[in-house]
A and B are shown apart, each in its own frame.
Chain A
């Protein structure tokens, strides 16, 4: 036993000795008196001991840099050219910040793949030396105006390090997210384009399951089609694939048992109120709920007012259309009619009526108290909803149940790959270079920096491993919590 312990200590020491000495270093790009040097007094907040706004900003960046340093194994310092500057904004919307690798290289001496773009920080890591000595590797700029009441109203940057951002924007999480893009979790060009015909390191791990090809194997035309192949564009990387089960929870879906033509599992969106669908038992016939035309429109299928076919809905799963009123209102109407559950069928946004939706929406509640809701809510896409409606209209019984599938994780394809964000209505700029929003729990590299994110790297570090980064010894193990 003592021998094993000694061997373990020796191995650990050897691994630590082999770790690279490179750090992530913040280069303060602001002039005196502004940005990181803003002398405006501030009270320490959430573990950030800075006493000026500038100090607090710098402390957040330094904390994010230190966190990246703990996992990235490189011999070369990664210089982050960072600054806070005023960027346009209004009381209701704003640009929070931007980031990018400062330069990209291909076919350098130690490049692991020929003809592939690598961000310079990663190229330096492969080379083992700074290919552009002293020059920054990542550019990050954030909007200092967010701290003004004229910008995003009373919502400011949150400079605490404890995740208690409340109504503000958690700078620490946004910096972690943006630095990951600067380290190579992005394309050199906006998807589906390549720069000078060459893929970036990210693109060679982008796999279209329908075509059976990675993006670097596809033509421009094929990639344009792939861009909106929802659920079938995935990350092809062994490290991410091996770790998904440590981070993601099983998928909950709507299982239709009859009629046979509809019998399969349907992807669902969930609600932030009512019982959790992954721990709720629900199995019953599905019934189209009908109501009187409400003030908000002439629809009789939006479930916004008392249901006129309450007897048919009672003890069954009610189905209504999205829009017309709040999700909470629909839930109350269905529950009052005795429904055991509620399905909300998504509809195109009125502002973009020709756009098909392909991802069932999440359902939230604003100011009202939803604690009276005891039936589960789920949403489905318009396409799936129309299939069910067609059967109901033809008087064909449809029965459904909530189904937890431990063999498929929320955010993965049936084949076990983690899905990339490829909405059928192309969302230019967000597509591909982020995880699909169906991942659950939420991940750092989804296109939205979600409010429920903890301050961890989750699968981000394994994605970095897949593109060629290595992790410092002992940092590769999954942390106990996200």
Chain B
């Protein structure tokens, strides 16, 4: 796919997003320009929404679905952010809900 063709698709996707206000209808790979114009911030679930589709390349068909690595953070007992890199929504929500003491990487502050 040429760069011009790619940009054209991006522009069309932005237009579609602005018109329909539908995040689900957009290919995740093309939402980067649409998101800043959405009235509400992107939701956690959006980041893990299933991506479908493929793209023809010079050497076969490439798959566009695949895991997304998401960095989440919460404020620890010392006021500093504690981070974790996860690749599904359940893990992200578990991390955000867990007491910070569960984290091995940043030494637990209390018991």
Spell out A's residues near B (CB within 8 Å). 29-31, 34-35, 81, 83, 85-89, 91-105, 107-110, 117, 120, 123, 127, 129-135, 139, 141, 145, 152-153, 155, 167-169, 174, 177-178, 181, 186-190, 195-196, 269, 271-272, 302, 322-327, 349, 351, 359, 361-367, 427-430, 433-434, 437, 442, 446-451
Complexed CA–CA distance, A447 and B59 (Å): 34
Beta-carbon nearest neighbor of B59 in chain A: A108
- With known contacts A132-B1, A349-B98, A449-B85, A155–B109 Cβ distance under 8 A: no
- With known contacts A132-B57, A451-B106, A34–B75 Cβ distance under 8 A: no
Asked if B108 and A429 sit within 8 Å, CB to CB, the answer is: no
B25 to chain A, nearest CB (A): 18
Find chain A residues with CB under 8 A from B77 CB. 366
Complexed CA–CA distance, A86 and B68 (Å): 18
Find chain A residues with CB under 8 A from B37 CB. 31
Quick one: which of A31, A100, A324, A326 has the most chain B CB within 10 A?
Answer: A100
Beta-carbon nearest neighbor of A196 in chain B: B63
Asked if B104 and A361 sit within 8 Å, CB to CB, the answer is: yes
Find chain A residues with CB under 8 A from B2 CB. 133-134
Quick one: which of A81, A83, A91, A364 has the most chain B CB within 10 A?
Answer: A364
Find chain B residues with CB under 8 A from A362 CB. 104-108
Q: How many CB-defined contacts (below 8 Å) exist between A and B? A: 263
Complexed CA–CA distance, A318 and B110 (Å): 18
Asked if B79 and A155 sit within 8 Å, CB to CB, the answer is: yes
Query: What are 15 inter-chain pairs, A to B, with CB distance below 8 A?
Result: A85-B41, A88-B41, A100-B66, A103-B54, A103-B55, A104-B62, A130-B58, A134-B2, A139-B29, A155-B80, A359-B104, A361-B101, A430-B85, A448-B83, A451-B80
Complexed CA–CA distance, A315 and B96 (Å): 42
- With known contacts A100-B66, A195-B66, A349-B101, A429–B75 Cβ distance under 8 A: no
Beta-carbon nearest neighbor of A321 in chain B: B111
Task: Say yes or no for B91: interface residue by CB 8 A criterion.
Answer: yes
Spell out B's residues near A (CB within 8 Å). 1-4, 6, 28-29, 32-33, 35-37, 41-44, 47, 54-55, 57-75, 77-88, 90-92, 94, 96-99, 101-111
- By secondary structure, the A interface counts as loop
- By secondary structure, the B interface counts as mixed
Asked if A188 and B66 sit within 8 Å, CB to CB, the answer is: yes
Asked if B68 and A437 sit within 8 Å, CB to CB, the answer is: no
Complexed CA–CA distance, A177 and B90 (Å): 21
Asked if B32 and A141 sit within 8 Å, CB to CB, the answer is: yes
- With known contacts A34-B36, A167-B79, A169-B83, A269–B104 Cβ distance under 8 A: yes
Beta-carbon nearest neighbor of B82 in chain A: A448
Find chain B residues with CB under 8 A from A448 CB. 82-85, 103, 105-106
Quick one: which of B4, B81, B107 has the most chain A CB within 10 A?
Answer: B81
- With known contacts A87-B47, A127-B59, A169-B73, A349–B41 Cβ distance under 8 A: no
User: CB < 8 Å: which of A123, A152, A430, A451 contacts B75?
Assistant: A152
Asked if A168 and B81 sit within 8 Å, CB to CB, the answer is: yes
Find chain B residues with CB under 8 A from A451 CB. 80, 106
Asked if B108 and A186 sit within 8 Å, CB to CB, the answer is: no
Complexed CA–CA distance, A102 and B36 (Å): 20
Complexed CA–CA distance, A361 and B104 (Å): 5
User: CB < 8 Å: which of A152, A177, A430 contacts B91?
Assistant: A430
Beta-carbon nearest neighbor of B97 in chain A: A351
Complexed CA–CA distance, A83 and B82 (Å): 23
Find chain B residues with CB under 8 A from A322 CB. 111
Asked if B69 and A178 sit within 8 Å, CB to CB, the answer is: yes
Asked if B33 and A450 sit within 8 Å, CB to CB, the answer is: no
